[in-house]
Amino acid sequence: MVRVVLMAVAIMMIAGVAGCSLPSRGDVYSRKETRQSWDVRYGQVTDVDPVTIEGQRTSLGRIGGGYVGYETGRVIGGHGSSGDIGGAVGAVAGAVAGEAIEEGVTRQRGLQITVALDGGHTIAVVQAADQPFSIGEKVKVFSRRDGAARIAKL
């Protein structure tokens, strides 16, 4: 009974932490992005396509899934060496499943927004679909030398 409760708690912790690590929205900046200059250009949206931003695969999903799988395998395998074998098999299966679950939970809807910049150049930026953009809409494009870019409404 105690193991079942521990497994349930572990699953909830994995889901909770994975949910906290979702990729940033277009208007959310990481600490590393603060106090850095952004070039600002203006333009007009010429195309908007929905995309999927892949989720993260970190050690959190792998380790958490492995632990849950190990405990589940030991419970199913019973006592003694069969429980140890069940735990080992469960750990491997759980690690694979945990990594896949984390990727699925952190996957995000996005937009590929094509902008004709004032001055004639055209760019496309992929970002989270946290706000809608329409063809013909005037926008600001924030970009940095490292290639990072964001599109914002005027």
What are the extents of the domains in the chain? Answer: 1-25+55-106, 36-54+107-154
> How do residues 25-44 score in pLDDT, each as one tens digit?
556 777 777 778 889 999 99
Q: Which residue has the higher pLDDT, 127 or 6?
A: 127
- The structure's pTM equals 0.58
Q: Contact 117/43 with Cβ under 8 angstroms?
A: yes
> How do residues 85-104 score in pLDDT, each as one tens digit?
777 777 777 777 776 676 66
**Mean of all residue pLDDT scores within the chain:** 77
> How do residues 55-87 score in pLDDT, each as one tens digit?
666 666 667 777 777 777 767 776 666 666 777
CATH number of 36-54+107-154: 2.40.50.100
